[in-house]
Amino acid sequence: MCSEVAPGARTLLVFCDSLSYYGPTGGVPADDPRIWPNLVAAQLGWDVELIGRIGWTSRDVWWAATQDPRSWAALPRAGAVIFATSGMDSLPSPWPTALRELIRYVRPPRVRRWVRDGYGWIQPRFS
């Protein structure tokens, strides 16, 4: 069975937003030894499975945990599961997160760019 785990092999499973893999110069790869999930896993002697994206909220983590086959595969090996998100949840915004997330589905691309630019202009002024 593909989900069988070798004895002693453990993984730190981290559901996260971009605060877990961003440094002073921007995003870094999930295997970068400087980000906190890799520092913690190194101290434990474990591997890391980092599941996240820029701007993720607790809603996105829920969908990843319940519907992403990658998280299902990592769970049997997990020695610990960390939910490191909500950085975006706590930001002051008068607009629902779903509004921002739905911009990617606006068609045609020209209209999507217009909507994204408008959102980018109006968001800081209303926050």
Asked if 26 and 71 sit in the same domain, the reply is yes
Shared-domain flag, residues 114 and 80: no
Enter the pTM of the model. 0.72
- Both 58 and 101 in a single domain? no
Domain count along the chain: 2
Q: Are residue 78 and residue 105 in the same domain, yes or no? A: no
Cα 123 from Cα 84, distance rounded (Å): 24
Alpha helix locations (H) across 24-68? 36-44, 58-67
Q: How does DSSP classify residue 53?
A: E
Q: Give pairs for 87-92: CB < 8 Å, separation 24+.
A: 87/17, 87/18, 87/19, 88/17, 88/55, 88/56, 88/57, 89/57, 89/58, 91/127, 92/127
In this structure, the answer to whether residues 62 and 115 fall within a common structural domain is no
**How high is the pLDDT of residue 37?**
96
pLDDT of 89 reads 56
Instruction: Extract the tokens encoding 108.
Output: 């045609």
111 and 56 assigned to the same domain? no
Contacts of 73 (CB under 8 A, 6+ apart): 2, 3
Residue span of the structural domain in which 101 resides: 97-126
Is 72 within the bounds of a domain? Answer: yes
Residue 6 domain-assigned?
Answer: no
Question: Is 90 domain-assigned?
Answer: no
Query: Cβ(52)–Cβ(18) under 8 Å?
Result: yes
One digit per residue, the tens of pLDDT, for the chain of length 127 reads 455 656 678 999 999 988 899 877 888 999 999 999 999 999 999 999 999 988 788 888 999 999 999 999 999 999 999 999 876 556 667 888 788 889 999 999 999 999 999 999 998 888 7
* Residues paired with residue 27 on neighbouring β-strands, in sequence order: 22
Which pLDDT value is given to residue 1? 47
Give pLDDT, residue 33.
93
